[in-house]
Amino acid sequence: MPTRRTVVAAAGAAAGLIATGGAAWADPGQPVAMTRHGPVRGYLDRDIKVFKGVRYGADTSTRRFRAAVAPERWTTPADATAYGHASPQRSDEADQSEDCLFLNVWTPALDDGGRRPVMVYVHGGAHANGSGSSPLYDGAALCRRGDVVVVTLNHRLNVFGYNGLGQLLGGAYGPSGSVGNLDLMLALEWVRDSIAAFGGDPANVTVFGQSGGGAKLVTLMAMPSAAGLFHKVITMSGQHVTAMGPQHAELRMRAYLDHLGLTPERAGELATLPAGRLVEALEMADPIEKGGIYFWSVMDHDTLPRHPFVPDAPRESAHIPMIIGNTHDEARAFTAGDERNFSLTWDTVAAKLAPEFVVDLNAQYVVDWYRRMFPEMSPVDVFFAAATCGRSRPGHLIQAQERARIGDRTWMYQLDFGSPVEPRLGAYHSFDIALAFDNCHQPTSKTGTGLEAREVARKMSETFIAFARTGDPNNAAIPAWAPYDLERRPTMVFDVDTRSVDDPRADERRLFQVAPFLKQGT
């Protein structure tokens, strides 16, 4: 791969050739593509052309908490061989900066009129952490398998992307509860205007995302200003039903200001404080819920005029085909790290289970119900099963049900195949990422590269590609998959023996649906 120094030198040598088009820079090992803002120079990953760190928005440090703007145009090829900065955050994510509006593209060919399906991935990490730079999101394998164009991206997170300043200051800060989502829209506008130069079809864009990424996508489905920027949606454990209400957003903002020693009247000073101080303050306790303070999309009656799936599925998105997915053992990602959870008894399991629920049910009642219904289960089995069904599954079911009520363009899946590398984790939250990207070989994958893992990856990635191409996930790699309906509830269970199952875990669904589900802190 070329270094930044060699690419910049080559770019300087080519500065006078912009008027003659990309052919003037032709170099098989250093492909150049023209974006809406200027040319970029990438590199080859064998047969795939890769462009990393492509700027789609201007530095947000001078527009903190406000809608981002497009960058100034450039004329000489910009280096696109390394990932761009990630949003400031509390995690150990490398290379953090407020100048974080960058995306990455993998493509089989450039500007060839191929009109390939475009698959734009939004990373997880709640609304607080992460970036589009994980090895699990590398798009080369999907490109090779399906002749598609893959895009990943970074955007503003936590208080930088979602907060309650709109309720306190209004004006230019009115949309502050959604500027992270507005970043996503700016990236999708870039895709609309530039992706044809990368061999993609701007009229066939699928957005997909896991966890917080999927949650942001269902939020975009309820934002009128996002209409037309994407044509299909896949959510992977993105179970948002509600956004943060405006009163709770203001309450959190006031508590955050107080933690920083600022009064609400001085809220405007947040725009000029060092970014590091804002990140450090995220360590404070949330004033409403357990754990650290958490900012995410705000239902402000304007930029986001309604909750994503309350009171129903947004009808303005009913025409958009959608896949809704979850994993069989979601909650193990959050609970398997506590060794005590593997030695629970019938006397201790309820007390450990209760804090995991996001629906208000009596934990002892739930434990007793599992003992009656599934006498073969141990206390440990009950803990992990009930934690998933009482924490991570309800939102997915609500989304599928509400979508089914307004049409037949929704398909639901459940991943049952569990990690051969970490058997205790099973099919945990985020385990479907490597499989969907066909990235079992990546160093951070816990799928291993055995025959079974590679076969499940083939089925999942082929299915995602088929959906991106046509809006229907059916393909030769899987059995027939019917859209979700309220009578049969057909669900594709991805496993070594991939199969369509009507209403999997039906009894558990009915148990937990007697209590209402809202996202924590709504």
**pLDDT value, residue 521:** 64
Catalytic one of 131, 134, 176, 211: 211
pLDDT tens by residue, 160-187: 999 999 999 999 999 999 999 999 999 9
Residue 417 region by backbone torsions, left for phi larger than 0, else alpha for psi between -120 and 50, else beta: beta
Residue 320 near residue 220, CB atoms below 8 Å: no
- Cis ω before 274 (30° cut-off from 0): no
The yes/no answer on whether domain 321-512 falls in CATH 3.30.379.10 is no
> What is the helix (H) or strand (E) element at residue 464, kind and residue range?
helix 451-470
How would DSSP label each residue in 275-288? Answer: HHHHHHHTTSBPSS
**pLDDT value, residue 27:** 73
Residue 421, token pair as written in the block: 């590398």
Residue 519 near residue 395, CB atoms below 8 Å: yes
Residue 296 near residue 127, CB atoms below 8 Å: yes
Distance CA 432, CA 414 (A): 10
In degrees and rounded to multiples of 5, residue 2 shows phi and psi of -65, 150
**pLDDT value, residue 502:** 98
pLDDT tens by residue, 64-114: 999 999 999 999 999 999 999 999 999 999 999 999 999 999 999 998 999
Position 325, amino acid: G
pTM for this entry? 0.93
Reduce the DSSP state of residue 375 to 3 states and report it.
Answer: coil
**pLDDT value, residue 26:** 59
Distance CA 39, CA 32 (A): 7
The reply to whether 321-512 shares the fold of 4-236 is yes
User: Domain extents for the chain?
Assistant: 4-236, 321-512
List C-alpha distances in Å: 499 to 490, 491, 502, 505: 10, 8, 10, 14
**pLDDT value, residue 518:** 79
Alpha-carbon torsion angle 232, 237, 242, 245, nearest 10: -110
Distance CA 139, CA 66 (A): 31
Q: Which of 282, 513, 479, 501 has the alpha carbon at shortest distance from 389?
A: 513
Distance CA 519, CA 522 (A): 6
**pLDDT value, residue 218:** 96
Roughly what angle, to the nearest 10 degrees, separates helices 363-373 and 379-387?
A: 120
Position 267, amino acid: A
Look up the CATH superfamily of 4-236. Alpha/Beta hydrolase fold, catalytic domain (3.40.50.1820)
Reduce the DSSP state of residue 266 to 3 states and report it.
Answer: helix
Q: Is 211 an active-site residue? A: yes
- Ranges of the chain with pLDDT below 50: 1-24
Query: Percentage helix, strand, coil, to 5, in the chain?
Result: 40, 15, 45
